[in-house]
Amino acid sequence: MANLKGTAGTVRRAVVCGTGAYLPANVVTNEALSKRVETSDEWIVARTGIRQRHIAAEDERTSDLATEAARRALAHAGLGPENIDLVIVATTTPDNTFPATATAVQAKLGMNGRGFAFDVQAVCSGFVYAMSIADNFIRVGQIETALVIGAETFTRILDWQDRTTCVLFGDGAGAVVLRAEEVAADTGRGILSCHLHSDGRYKDALFVTGGPGSNREVGVVRMNGQEVFRHAVVKLAEVVEEALGANKLTGADVDWLVPHQANQRIIDGMAKKLGLGPEHVVSTVARHANTSAASIPLALAEAAGDGRIKQGQIVLLEAIGGGLTWGASVIRW
């Protein structure tokens, strides 16, 4: 979306003013996994870069993970639940088919009915989709402040007999607080643009075998890994070019690539295309595995929290997931 020019060369933008993350305590290494699944640490590391994943406790729900990440993001922003107008939870593993997990988070945060809350379902692209939606609510002036959360208990929809998928995923949540600011159009902070795509013709490349409207079951993940890999390489390159071009930027202008964390080989391929060395890439896939919609905000919270991502830097997000859905956004941090 083009920048909407305000008066005197200023624009209203959604500025990231806080980040937070939550990972369940239980860490399962490849070694431990290989005791219950016919796999090996060598295979998983060579194909994906994954070394371990966090798995939620039996009594932990997606909304619990999301609420903890949100609390930390609010504390980082120096804001409270009384400041939030909108809560979006990007998730593929909601607590219930309905109501939205975001409404559970709204209640757990103690928002006392303030604002409104809903979920977004775009699988691994969910956080990029949710950022774009919140950005638009802020740009048009409907809200001032949004909590955008990616949260998953993804391991609950895995088939632990299917070694081609069960070794790839993990649980976790990340959150950002976005606040409206009137900033200089050319140099001001905030989300510069978001670019979303989907193509339902490829729905069978990556899907879950159940759903309330089909067989009334929750179902388990099925993936044609090679097909998804082929699409990922092409579609992510296209959308990143689109996002940078829309802002008259090139790979050389990107301070941080914060990609969806599915596979280190895909991450390395994108970094190479952009001409970026590893010192410009945030990678958490080795420790978190693929946490679907949570992966980007988890990576953002880590790199913003430890001071790698600094105010004013250009941050590029990109993701692809089931649908297929894919997207990118450019942020001046």
Binding positions for ligand ACO, rule: CB under 6 A:
39, 43, 47-48, 123-124, 163-164, 167, 206, 225-226, 228-229, 232, 262-263, 266, 290, 292, 320-322
Q: Which two tokens stand for residue 17?
A: 């003013």
Helices (H), the chain: 30-33, 41-48, 62-77, 101-108, 126-139, 163-166, 225-246, 264-274, 285-288, 295-305
- In terms of CB distance, is 321 or 327 closer to ligand ACO? 321
Angle between helices 62-77 and 295-305 (to 10 degrees): 30
Among residues 3, 30, 263, 290, which one is catalytic?
290
User: Does the annotation mark 194 as catalytic?
Assistant: no
Q: Is 136 a catalytic residue?
A: no
Identify the active-site residue in 17, 124, 166, 194. Answer: 124
- The H or E element that residue 221 is part of is strand 221-223
Closest approach of ligand ACO to the CB of residue 33, in Å: 9
Annotated catalytic residue 290: yes
Q: Residues 54, 76, 260, 288: which is the catalytic one? A: 260
Nearer to ligand ACO by Cβ, of 82 and 199: the residue is: 199
Q: Which of 311, 325, 332 is nearest to 121 (CA)?
A: 325
One-character DSSP codes across 146-184: EEEEEEE-GGGG--TT-HHHHTTB--EEEEEEEEEEEEE
Nearer CB in complex with ligand ACO: 30/103: 30
Q: How far is the CB of 98 from ligand ACO (least distance, A)?
A: 21
Closer residue to ligand ACO, CB minimum distance, 40 or 247: 40
Q: Looking at the annotation, which residues are catalytic?
A: 124, 260, 290
